[in-house]
């Protein structure tokens, strides 16, 4: 919610600032929000944000209203020490100060209202995780972080080249949310052996394309009818830190039963340094250490949510409880029973209706790749579960 | 566009340069480093930080790099920044200027011994 609020506040900045640093400002906000927890740190955080807005908004708008190029190089004085030019001269005008004060007060009121309302009125961004537990948490969510970012991308920045044209087409296809169209685009439009285009759907990808140009795609695969996995081996020719390094991205695009794109996420990322500056062999095949084979797609009419397996109410009720996962973020899952149905709720996420495939294995509604399987001990007591999301698994222990 | 030569550096810009003196950092790391350098008294907000970063980039005192090796799955790409030789020269000149002021203040007995 707070991120959505700050995204709105960012719109107060001039277009140039937003285009150049909007994503970075948002990322910084997100980092601070995540790391400054607790009453006092959070109060201090918002105070910082409000003061920052009040000061920097005035400065950026003054800048935007002025014309004239920045000096191309740093001039030197007689001692040889260059000067630093700043973007202001003297104090801001009274008008600017009044505008800054007024905007700060408006922002303060909005934030206060949002804080009091408990953060439920503004839709938030789907989480993007770093740890396996967070990744699973994000994957379990039915939201789509990357779809959200796509809307912010400014395609007008792309150059007028064939590769950029393909890149733009890909954006347009993704924007429709039509999984079949996207699958068609990758399987028919692109030639994986020769195509030079960067896969991306966020404004940062547009920026990378502009700065470093297109990259080579070496492979992609369609895992099943409802899931597309793009395995990209690209050469980061523009990287300063690792010139010509090979980078492996694995992106998963999943469709819901109506063939709409329901989720897109990075599921792995890897880097291989070149063996020398001149010799740049393609990397060998890679293996993901903790990934299981993909589930087969359910044939039409056979998915658990379409044709659920019948499980006795007493069995379903025996699963009710809280299950703790041994993950870095100490996530847990709440299993509940209502009116003959089983529901699960992962930490901080919405409740999901689960449908049985067997007496112990349940699938999330509309999802092939998300399931849980309960485990019992020798006495028949339910002791835990395994949560599987796109092949990644976490084991949860039932809380006593 | 009218501009003013500032010598010494603006405080925020100086602290950003110092934060990059021994390592490449992205925005949030710069903010944390600056907060640490100043004992928590200077906590740069997104607007102030990136406004200063842009100025420093345009003046060639820092440069932007791509640090792929640090990126993890699910993370967005981040811009990392590196101090240039011109930036290092400026930061050193500013530090020397402050050291001179400190020496004067000490001579005038404005500071207690713990500042020596």
**Residue bearing the bigger pLDDT, A86 or B113:** B113
pLDDT for residue B4:
42
Please state the ipTM of this predicted complex.
Answer: 0.78
Beta-carbon separation of A13 and B7 below 8 A: no
Exposure string for B72-107, b = 16+ CB within 10 A, e = fewer: ebbebbbbbbbbbebbebbbebbeeeeeeeeeeeee
Could you read off the pLDDT of B26-79 as tens digits, one per residue?
Answer: 888 899 889 888 888 888 889 989 988 888 888 888 888 765 444 444 455 678
Put simply, the answer to whether A81 touches B93 (Cβ < 8 Å) is: yes
pLDDT tens, residue by residue, A71-91: 333 333 333 333 333 333 344
- Out of A56, A66, A81, the one facing B48 most closely (by C-beta) is A56
- Closest-approach residue (CA) in chain A for B27: A28
Q: What is the mean pLDDT of each run of 10 residues along chain A (400 residues)?
A: 80 80 82 79 84 83 60 33 35 59 61 44 29 34 31 62 72 78 70 48 54 52 65 51 54 74 62 43 38 55 79 94 74 89 80 89 73 91 82 77
Interface membership of B39 toward A (CB under 8 Å): no
- Chain A nearest-CA distance from B2, in A, is 7
* pLDDT tens for each residue of A219-240: 555 556 677 766 665 555 444 4
Overall average pLDDT of the B19-27 stretch: 86
Residue B44 CA: distances (Å) to CA of A86, A204, A304, A330, B27 = 17, 23, 52, 31, 10
The candidate with the shortest Cα–Cα distance to A158, out of A210, A212, A211, is A210
Residues 93-112 of B with CB under 8 A from A: 93
Tell me what pLDDT residue A214 has. Answer: 54
């Amino acid at each position: 919610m707070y991120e959505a609020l700050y995204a709105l506040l960012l719109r107060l900045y001039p277009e140039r600032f937003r285009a150049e640093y909007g994503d970075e400002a948002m990322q910084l906000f997100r980092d601070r929000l995540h790391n400054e927890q607790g009453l006092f740190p959070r109060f201090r955080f918002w105070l910082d944000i409000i003061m920052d807005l009040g000061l920097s908004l005035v400065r950026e708008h003054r800048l935007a209203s002025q014309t004239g190029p920045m000096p191309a190089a740093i001039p030197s004085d007689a001692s040889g020490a260059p000067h630093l030019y700043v973007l202001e001269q003297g104090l801001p005008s009274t008008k600017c100060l009044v505008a800054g004060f007024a905007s700060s007060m408006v922002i303060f009121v909005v934030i206060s209202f949002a804080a009091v309302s408990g953060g439920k009125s503004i839709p938030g961004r789907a989480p993007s995780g770093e740890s396996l537990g967070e990744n699973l948490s994000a994957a379990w969510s039915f939201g789509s972080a990357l779809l959200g970012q796509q809307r912010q991308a400014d395609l007008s920045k792309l150059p007028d080249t064939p590769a950029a044209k393909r890149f733009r087409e890909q954006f347009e296809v993704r924007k429709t949310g039509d999984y079949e169209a996207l699958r068609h685009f990758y399987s028919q439009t692109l030639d994986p052996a020769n195509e030079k285009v960067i896969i991306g759907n966020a404004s940062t990808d547009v920026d990378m394309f502009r700065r470093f140009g297109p990259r080579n795609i070496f492979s992609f695969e369609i895992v099943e009818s409802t899931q597309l996995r793009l395995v990209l081996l690209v050469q980061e020719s523009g990287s300063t830190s690792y010139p010509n390094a090979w980078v492996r991205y694995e992106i998963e695009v999943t469709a819901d039963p109506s063939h709409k794109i329901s989720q897109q996420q990075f599921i792995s990322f890897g880097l291989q340094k070149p063996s020398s500056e001149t010799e740049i062999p393609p990397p060998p095949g890679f293996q993901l250490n903790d990934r299981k084979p993909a589930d087969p797609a359910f044939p039409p009419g056979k998915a658990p949510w379409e044709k659920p397996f019948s499980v006795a109410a007493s069995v379903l009720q025996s699963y009710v409880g809280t299950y703790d996962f041994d993950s870095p973020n100490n996530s847990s899952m709440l299993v509940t029973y209502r009116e003959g149905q089983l529901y699960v709720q992962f930490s901080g996420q919405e409740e999901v209706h689960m449908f049985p495939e067997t007496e112990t294995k349940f699938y999330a509604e509309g999802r092939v790749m998300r399931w849980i399987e309960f485990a019992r001990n020798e006495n028949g007591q339910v002791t835990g579960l395994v949560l599987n999301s796109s092949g990644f698994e976490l084991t949860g222990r039932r809380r006593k | 566009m009218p501009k003013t030569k500032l010598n010494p550096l603006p405080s925020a810009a100086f602290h950003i340069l110092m934060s990059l003196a021994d390592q490449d950092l992205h925005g949030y790391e710069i903010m944390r480093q600056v907060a640490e350098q100043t004992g928590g008294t200077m906590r740069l907000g997104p607007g102030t930080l990136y406004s200063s970063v842009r100025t420093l980039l345009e003046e060639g005192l820092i440069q932007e790099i791509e640090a792929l090796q640090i990126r993890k799955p699910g993370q967005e790409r981040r811009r990392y920044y590196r101090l240039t030789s011109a930036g290092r020269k400026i930061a050193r000149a500013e530090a020397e200027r402050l050291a001179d002021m400190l020496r004067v203040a000490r001579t005038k007995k404005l500071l207690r011994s713990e500042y020596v």
